[in-house]
């Protein structure tokens, strides 16, 4: 099986706990965040992603439960727990441990006395951590732990219903990240500050990799050849990767002016790739709607729906 690129630390745990949710729906709109440049800082808003998570979960008959109880008072018998924490306190997170703070999610799978079974996909870890380590990592973020359970006894959505749900909720308007790039470059900040802000976009923009997961899932679930779509998605992601590499390298070499000039040379191509991507995905959505109608007609002919 082809290894697909990392998206974000929450969705990987969400997908493991909700394996009944088809990938093209679980990864829906992971890129639907907004970024605002204000007083020399970037402010990220992920509220719309939280809303679509809840909508997807409800559609697939899953309910998210949340609790601020500490780990000693949580029952691990029914479901693993998505555990928010600070990677600064995780010994296996070599890039962050006692170096830099990073809001992160891990899975708590079980308990053995004062140690807990942990799973993390990035950085990879499948082992045990002492309770005190987890408590220290958790108390610094002040966020509730989460788990998922069945919501009701209603039937599982059909393939047609899944596709219709996907098409009806696919967001393309938020794929407009060149706007914040232009805003940063045109600001009156110092060159180093501009490049530092650009580099802050690196991890959030990994969420665009969800588009790769979605198209690969659609190929399997709907029996479509989507290589041309994947090529355009990858071209857009690669354009951003190049800009991140330029920004990151310049922060080490301190050659800020030349880096900014280099980035500006790639701006128009990036914008062109972004527009092509949105246009292509819009076409895919229409193609899937037609596919929905075809599947529904076939099932109706077979007497599988009314």
pLDDT at 68: 84
Q: How far apart are CA 244 and CA 6, in angstroms?
A: 16
* Arithmetic mean of pLDDT over the chain: 91
Can you tell me the distance from the alpha carbon of 88 to that of 43, in angstroms, rounded to the nearest whole number?
22
Q: Give 25's contacts (C-beta < 8 A, 6+ positions apart).
A: 56, 59, 60, 162, 165, 166
Query: Which tens digits make up the pLDDT trace of 229-257?
Result: 999 999 999 999 999 999 999 999 999 99
What pLDDT sits at residue 302? 47
> Which residues, other chains included, contact 56 with Cβ-Cβ below 8 Å and sequence gap of 6+?
21, 25, 26, 28
Contact 25, 162 (CB under 8 A): yes
pLDDT at 151: 85
pLDDT reported for residue 298? 54
* The pLDDT value given to residue 112: 83
User: Which stretches of the chain score pLDDT less than 70?
Assistant: 1-2, 69-78, 294-306
């Amino acid at each position: 099986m082809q290894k697909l690129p990392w998206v974000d630390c929450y969705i990987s745990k969400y997908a493991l706990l909700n394996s009944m949710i088809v990938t093209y729906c679980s990864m829906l709109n992971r890129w639907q965040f907004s970024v605002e440049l204000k007083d020399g800082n970037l402010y990220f808003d992920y509220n719309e992603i939280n809303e679509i998570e809840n909508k997807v979960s409800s559609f697939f008959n899953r309910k998210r439960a949340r609790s601020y109880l500490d780990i000693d008072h949580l029952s691990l018998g029914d479901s693993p727990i998505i555990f928010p924490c600070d990677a600064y306190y995780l010994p296996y997170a070599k890039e962050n441990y006692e170096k830099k703070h990073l809001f992160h999610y891990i899975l708590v799978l079980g308990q053995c006395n004062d140690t807990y079974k942990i799973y993390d996909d990035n950085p990879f870890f499948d082992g045990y951590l002492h309770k005190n380590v987890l408590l220290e990592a958790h108390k610094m973020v002040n966020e509730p732990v989460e788990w998922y359970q069945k919501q009701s006894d209603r039937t599982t959505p059909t393939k047609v219903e899944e596709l219709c749900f996907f098409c009806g909720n696919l967001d393309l308007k938020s794929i407009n990240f060149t706007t914040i790039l232009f805003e940063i470059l045109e600001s009156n900040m110092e060159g180093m500050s501009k490049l530092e802000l650009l580099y802050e976009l690196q991890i959030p923009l990994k969420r665009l990799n969800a588009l790769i997961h979605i198209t690969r899932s659609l190929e399997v679930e709907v029996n479509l050849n989507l290589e041309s779509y994947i090529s355009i998605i990858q071209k857009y992601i690669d354009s951003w990767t190049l800009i991140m590499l330029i920004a990151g390298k310049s922060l080490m070499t301190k050659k800020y002016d030349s880096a900014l000039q280099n980035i500006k040379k790639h701006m128009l191509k990036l914008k062109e790739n972004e527009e092509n991507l949105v246009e292509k995905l819009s076409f895919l959505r229409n193609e899937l709607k037609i596919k929905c109608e075809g599947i529904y007609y076939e099932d109706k002919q077979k007497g599988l729906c009314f």
